[in-house]
Structure 1
C-alpha cells in the first residue's frame, strides 16, 4: 500500500508548477487582447496485469464516474484483442482528458489527491491490484486540425504516435495536413502535439467500423509515412483499441 500511496502523490500533486506558468501566460494573453489559449489534453496509458483484468473492468465500471465528475474525459479505450502483431498487449487502456489550461489540470489533480473516497474506493485498489505500468503526455491540439466527432458505429480506435526529430514538428505538419484532410471518414478525430512529456512527438486519434478497417488504414498510413522516415520521422507506431463500455468519444 505504501508504494501505491507514493505513486498517488507523485501522479496527482507534483505538476502544480506548470499551472502557475499557464496562469501567467493566460493573463498576459488576455491583457494583450489575444484570442483564448487552446485547451490542454492529457493522454494517459496504463498496462493492466493480465490476471487482474476482470477486476479492473469491474472496479472501473462501478467507480469511474467519480473521476468523470472532476474533469472532462474525451475518450476511454481498451486495447483491441485483434490479431494485429503491432498492437500493444491486450491489457492496455488509454484515455484522453481535456482541461481549459494547466491551472485547471493542477487543481483537479490536487483535489483528487485529497479526495479520500476516490482514493479508497478506486485509485488505491486499482494501483495495488491492477496497474503494472503507466505513462502520460500533456498535449496541445494541432492548430490546423480541429477535433471532430466520430460517426456512429465506429467503435474501433487507433492511437498513432509519431516521434519526430527535434525541431521538425512544423515541417511534418505542413507535409501531412492536406494529406490527412483527404482521408474522408478515416481522417483523424484529433491531432495533438506533446507539450509536456516526449517532446517533438505527435499523437493522432482515428475511429473505424471494424478491426479489419483499422488495420488496413493504419498500414496505409505507414506506407504514406515511409517517405518521411529519417528526414522528419524518428520513430512511429500505432495501437489498436475498442471503446470502453463506460465511455464515448466526446469533442
Structure 2
C-alpha cells in the first residue's frame, strides 16, 4: 500500500516543463552581428513641411557628423502625406546611445535645427530593424524613386517564413523592373513586420512591371506560397530628397 501511494505521489507531483527551443522564435546571426537600422517616421504639420525639410537640408551635416544616414524620403502616396521617412545605420545599441547623448550636447544641432523645428512635428515613430539573413543592403543603379512594401507576417520570424518570403521577393526582383535595396525585419516596434525597400526608375515603370510580373507563373507561385504567412500589407511610394544618400 505504501509503495502504491509513493508511486501515485510521483505521478501526480508537478513536473518541470521542458520546452525545446522553437526554431521559429530563435534568434539568428542578425543580433550577433550588431548592425541595425532605425526607421524614423515624422508626421509633419501641413503648413510647415517645406520649412522643415529646407532647414534639415541646410543642417543635415550636423546630424550626419554623428551617425550614418542611409536614406531620407517624403511619402508621395500610399501612406499619410506630409510625412518624412528616414533610415539610420548603427553598429550597436551602445553606439546609438552615445550618438543621442552627443546630439543632446551639440549646441549647433540643438539651436540651429532641433529646437526651432520641433513644433513642426505632429508625431514621431521609431522602429529598430535588422536586415534578414539572406539580404545585404543594395545600391540603386541611378537616381529614381522608391517603394517601401511593409508586410505584417504571422508570428515566427524568418526561420518560419524566410524561405518562402525570399522566393517571393526574388521572383519580383528577377523581373528586372525594380532593384532590391533591402529586406528588414522588425526587432523593436510592431513585431513580425517586414519591410522591403525597392528602387524603381519611376512610378509608371513600376506599374507596368508589376502588371507583367503578376502574369508570370513563377511570380504567382512564389507569392501564393508566401501569403500563407501574411496578415496585412501596405505599400508606400517614397521620393528621395537631394541630401539622401539613396537617391
Maintained 8 Å contact 1:158/1:214: no
Other-structure match for 1:9: none
- How many residue pairs match? The answer is 209
User: 1:226 Cα shift?
Assistant: 6.1
TM-score by length of 2: 0.76
User: 1:207 Cα shift?
Assistant: 0.6
Question: 2-side partners of 1:120 and 1:100: how far apart?
Answer: 27
Q: 188-197 or 169-178, which moves further after superposition?
A: 169-178
Question: 1-side partners of 2:112 and 2:210: how far apart?
Answer: 38
Evaluate the alpha carbon distance shift between residue 228 and residue 176 of structure 1 in structure 2; reply closer, same or farther with a 3 A threshold. closer
- Match status 1:64 vs 2:60: yes
Runs of 5+ in structure 2 lacking a partner? 1-28
Q: Deviations over 1:131-163 (max 9, x none)?
A: 11121111111111111111113x210111111
**Superposition map of 1:128-207 within 5 A:** 128=119, 130-153=120-143, 155-182=144-171, 183-184=173-174, 185=176, 186-207=178-199
Evaluate the alpha carbon distance shift between residue 209 and residue 187 of structure 1 in structure 2; reply closer, same or farther with a 3 A threshold. closer
Q: Pick the aligned partner of 2:87 from 78, 93, 96.
A: 96
Maintained 8 Å contact 2:62/2:108: no
Maintained 8 Å contact 2:179/2:200: no
Moved over 4 A (4+): 215-229
Q: 103-112 or 173-182, which moves further after superposition?
A: 173-182
Maintained 8 Å contact 1:191/1:204: yes
Maintained 8 Å contact 2:132/2:158: no
User: 1:211 Cα shift?
Assistant: 1.7
User: 1:126 Cα shift?
Assistant: 1.7
Runs of 5+ in structure 1 lacking a partner? 1-28, 30-34
User: 1:213 Cα shift?
Assistant: 2.6
Evaluate the alpha carbon distance shift between residue 131 and residue 36 of structure 1 in structure 2; reply closer, same or farther with a 3 A threshold. same
Other-structure match for 1:210: 202
User: 1:176 Cα shift?
Assistant: 2.2
Q: Larger Cα Rg: Structure 1 or Structure 2?
A: 2
RMSD, matched Cα: 2.6
Other-structure match for 1:240: 237
Could you say what secondary structure the match of 1:188 adopts? strand
Q: Deviations over 1:42-69 (max 9, x none)?
A: 0101111111112112211111111111
User: 1:178 Cα shift?
Assistant: 2.7
Maintained 8 Å contact 1:159/1:239: yes
Maintained 8 Å contact 1:194/1:202: yes
Question: 1-side partners of 2:83 and 2:94: how far apart?
Answer: 29
Other-structure match for 2:75: 79
Q: Pick the aligned partner of 2:40 from 39, 44, 47.
A: 44
Question: 2-side partners of 1:88 and 1:225: how far apart?
Answer: 23
TM-score by length of 1: 0.75
Question: 2-side partners of 1:94 and 1:141: how far apart?
Answer: 18
Evaluate the alpha carbon distance shift between residue 201 and residue 218 of structure 1 in structure 2; reply closer, same or farther with a 3 A threshold. farther
